[in-house]
Amino acid sequence: MNSKLLKPIIIILLLLPAFNLPGLIPQPHPQEQKENQIRTREYPPAQRFIVKKAVSKIKIDGILNEEAWKHPEKIKILYEWMPGDNIPAPVESECLVTFDKSRLYIAFRCFDPEPQKIRAHLMDRDAIDTFIQDDYVSFVIDTFNDERRSFQFRVNALGVQADAIFSELEGYEDFSWDTIWKSAGRITDSGYVVEIAIPFNQLRFPGDKGIQTWGFEANRSYPRSVRHRLSSHVRDRNKSCILCQLNKITGFEGISAGKNIELAPTLTSVRTDEREDFPGGDMDAGKIDVEPGITVRWGITPNLILNAAANPDFSQVEADVAQLEVNTRFALRYPEKRPFFLEGADFFLTPVEAVFTRTVYDPAWGAKMSGKLGKNALGFFATQDRYNNLIFPSNQGSALTSLEQDVLAGVFRYRRDVGKGSTLGLLYTGRVGDDYYNHVAGVDGFFRLSGTKTVSVQYLHSQTDYPDPVAQTFGQDDNSFAGNALYALFRHYGRNMIYSLEYQDLSTGFRADSGFIPRVDTRRVMAMIHPVIWGKKGRWFERIGLRVMGTNITDHHNTLTDQDLEFAGSINLALQTYVFSAFHFQKERFNNITYDKNLAEIYLEMKPVGGLRYVIYTSYGDSIDYYNSRLARSLLVNPFIEFGVGRHLNVNISHVFERLSLEGKKIYTANLLQTKLIYNFNVRSFARAIIQYTDINRDPDLYAAPVEPETRTLLTQFLFSYKINPQTVLFIGYSDNHLGFRGLDITRTDRTFFLKLGYALVL
């Protein structure tokens, strides 16, 4: 390392005792310490429950009056694991489990001494930021009982659904994953009841014909002045693994996924009108583009799924998350939302993001297979795209282009379970077009050294060749070239102490065109120490976190390009209040000049009552004016508020204000306002309006080259959605874009009308 800044931190990290830092964390009284030790030793082991087959048919209506619900396996939700540390749950809850040949049935009875305070709102499925403000129940199923991957299902008191995939190795919880299941919720005089049915053909599980045992956890979220998180088993804070602590449920015998075939035909119709002679010309009506398509999902076995699509529907029905691009060097990342790629997405995760499916833009066809056979997990997908989207990364910035050419892309992933909680993996990605290719291959591993310590490693090698005109335009090598990526992370995650040491090396020639790597030619070292202080019942705080983190980045000529020493702290308080603040002492190299920067930031979030959440983020300090290559001062203020009006209407408003100044003079000010109004008619349908307005003002006298003094854009989007399940849908939408400059009123540039029909036929 060139800098001495990180050496003290790394030395401290390496000398850390395994479980505590005397003097840094307040030590409990000897008697209290003894009680804690006794309590830790006396944690009960995970329980095992035997599930019996349903003795009658079950109707999913939130009324548990069937004979099958009179004597099912009953799992009590006994423990509060947050903020309390495995203390008795403040309210009574029970989870009922049974099954028949084709479905898993789950029911919850949630008792509440003050049912009038139950927080319950209608919303779209998987609207997770809004969902978690409500009272809800959830359960986790580890169907392979391998403590590596699980399915998660959540339902609020009105029956609104959320589902996710959780991967233990990456700590990856993905709510964009969707499956088809039924739920109903009902508020009663004593609390609320939830009833759920999940077809086995929507899950993955071993194809064995014998009795199966699955990992299982039942949960309840009970939000009042604090959010009480309750579980059917204890959660040891000195274990970094979650799935290794689950209860076990067994007795599943004679279950079947049936034919396990799902056909999802879609019909999408789009018409875009554009103003040809902006700003004075007429709006020219575009042609109506009708796109039929079909996606087929076939469960070859209960644990191996094949997806294929002809002219697949990859339409987006919501505007991307609003982001300012005024003073940035590197490409911005937008999340994947398309169902075809979300199936089994966690199979393709690795520490270096070599797979990012939004690089696939407009494919003619696609095929994907993923699943698990014994200790072996594998995934594969291939597409033929009509466009080739490329990022050209470097140490100092990235450029983008899109080539209108056919490109064939494929990804193969293999992972082998090793020992208790460890894995070894292989990854290959390839993209091939006219006079173009990019191939990436490598190995990776995740090793669980103990209950608190893990190591992750990955090595990748790439070979790339761009078409000559592209290489010349974007300053790339005219001939084929190669590159390497190396990643290693050691992490300790304990009750009172978290620390890690991370290293990443991306060579100058490394390219991952099927992934998202906007920066290369870097060697990055990061060390972090994070003591944690837990509050006890009755204290004024729930949790206090302190963090010291140092990051050092050099290029492959050993020139320091980035450095950051961060001192941060966070605290969780009553009214579901979270406060985080940090101070950064930084160095950043740009255009052969190294700048010293200091930056402060603060984040505040509160959920004081049901249906209300507000957030404000602020940062102030030094920043580089990349357009003019100089040091400036920046101020960023980002408030956000979300509130519900009754059970049906949800409103959220966010605003980003950014100012860059030089010696008191404003280089630019940027405002981005987004408002979202959603009226939910019921759990299946809603109407939504989104408005995004951007206003950027620049001082031309402070720019080295001519710039537009004022730029304004406006996006409006309206959508009606009727959704029986994630695949059986009706969407009717409209959107338009407006643009304005100084001396030109904001004027509509285009408008789009949108219709989508989708139907899921499950055989």
In the chain, the amino acid numbered 331 is A
The per-residue DSSP string of 502-570 comes to: EEEEE-TT---TTS---B-SEEEEEEEEEEEEEPPTTSS-SEEEEEEEEEEEE-TT--EEEEEEEEEEE
Task: Give the burial string for 297-314 (b: 16+ CB within 10 Å, else e).
Answer: bbbeebbbbebbbebbbb
Q: Rounded to an integer, what distance in angstroms lies between the CA atom of residue 355 and that of residue 372? A: 19
CA nearest neighbour of 603 among 636, 643, 652 = 636
Q: Tokens for 752?
A: 């789009």
Residue position matching structure tokens 């997990």: 377
CA nearest neighbour of 748 among 275, 345, 418 = 275
User: In what helix (H) or strand (E) does residue 342 lie, and over which residues does it extend?
Assistant: helix 339-342
Q: Tokens for 694?
A: 């951007």
Q: Rounded to an integer, what distance in angstroms lies between the CA atom of residue 452 and that of residue 195? A: 36
Q: Tokens for 488?
A: 């290693």
| Contact present, 457 and 504 (Cβ < 8 Å) | no
Torsion of CA 680, 682, 687, 693, to 10 degrees: 30
User: What's the predicted TM-score (pTM) here?
Assistant: 0.86
Q: Specify the pLDDT at position 745.
A: 85
| Contact present, 84 and 228 (Cβ < 8 Å) | yes
Q: Specify the pLDDT at position 331.
A: 61
Contacts of residue 468, defined as CB under 8 A and 6 or more positions apart, other chains included, come to: 435, 478
CA distances from 8 to 12, 490, 502, 553 (A): 6, 18, 16, 17
Q: What is the DSSP letter of 357?
A: G
Domains of the chain by residue range: 43-252
- Tell me the CATH number of domain 43-252, given options 2.60.40.1190, 3.40.50.11710, 3.40.50.300, 1.10.10.60: 2.60.40.1190
Number of H helices, E strands in the chain: 5, 43
Q: What is the DSSP letter of 320?
A: P
In the chain, the amino acid numbered 625 is D
Label each residue of 701-745 as H, E or C.
HHCCCCCCCEEEEEEEEEEEEEECCCCCEEEEEEEEEEEEECCEE
Within 10 A of 570 (CB to CB), how many other CB atoms are there?
Answer: 17
Q: Specify the pLDDT at position 25.
A: 35
Q: Rounded to an integer, what distance in angstroms lies between the CA atom of residue 743 and that of residue 761? A: 55
3-class SS of residue 46: coil
Label each residue of 641-655 as H, E or C.
EEEEECCCEEEEEEE
Q: Specify the pLDDT at position 2.
A: 45
| Contact present, 443 and 426 (Cβ < 8 Å) | yes
Q: What phi and psi values does residue 56 have, to the nearest 5 degrees?
A: -155, 170
In the chain, the amino acid numbered 122 is L
Q: Rounded to an integer, what distance in angstroms lies between the CA atom of residue 251 and that of residue 752? A: 53
CA nearest neighbour of 347 among 357, 359, 337 = 357
Q: Rounded to an integer, what distance in angstroms lies between the CA atom of residue 394 and that of residue 342? A: 29
Q: Specify the pLDDT at position 37.
A: 43
3-class SS of residue 415: strand
Within 10 A of 736 (CB to CB), how many other CB atoms are there?
Answer: 18
Q: Rounded to an integer, what distance in angstroms lies between the CA atom of residue 740 and that of residue 713? A: 6
User: In what helix (H) or strand (E) does residue 341 lie, and over which residues does it extend?
Assistant: helix 339-342
Contacts of residue 253, defined as CB under 8 A and 6 or more positions apart, other chains included, come to: 53, 210, 211, 212
The per-residue DSSP string of 428-469 comes to: EEEEEETTEEEEEEEEEEEEE-SSSEEEEEEEEEEEEE--HH
Q: Rounded to an integer, what distance in angstroms lies between the CA atom of residue 677 and that of residue 123? A: 11
3-class SS of residue 473: helix
Q: What is the mean pLDDT of each run of 10 residues along the chain (763 residues)?
A: 44 40 38 41 83 96 96 95 94 98 97 96 94 96 94 98 90 86 97 97 87 97 94 94 95 90 92 88 90 90 88 58 59 65 77 88 87 90 90 91 92 94 95 96 96 96 96 94 98 96 98 94 98 88 96 97 98 94 97 96 94 96 94 97 96 96 96 96 96 96 94 94 92 93 88 93 88
Q: What is the DSSP letter of 42?
A: T
From the centroid of its chain, how far is CA 149? 16
* Runs of H (alpha helix) within 139-275: none
Using alpha carbons only, what angle is made at residue 141 by residues 135 and 143, rounded to the nearest 5 degrees? 165
Q: What is the DSSP letter of 332?
A: P
Q: What is the DSSP letter of 86?
A: S
Q: Rounded to an integer, what distance in angstroms lies between the CA atom of residue 673 and that of residue 334? A: 18
Task: Give the burial string for 100-130 (b: 16+ CB within 10 Å, else e).
Answer: beebbbbbbbbebeebeebbbbbbbbbbeeb
Q: What phi and psi values does residue 225 have, to the nearest 5 degrees?
A: -65, -30
Q: Tokens for 1?
A: 């390392």
Q: Specify the pLDDT at position 32.
A: 40
Q: What is the DSSP letter of 22?
A: B
CA nearest neighbour of 414 among 481, 352, 369 = 369
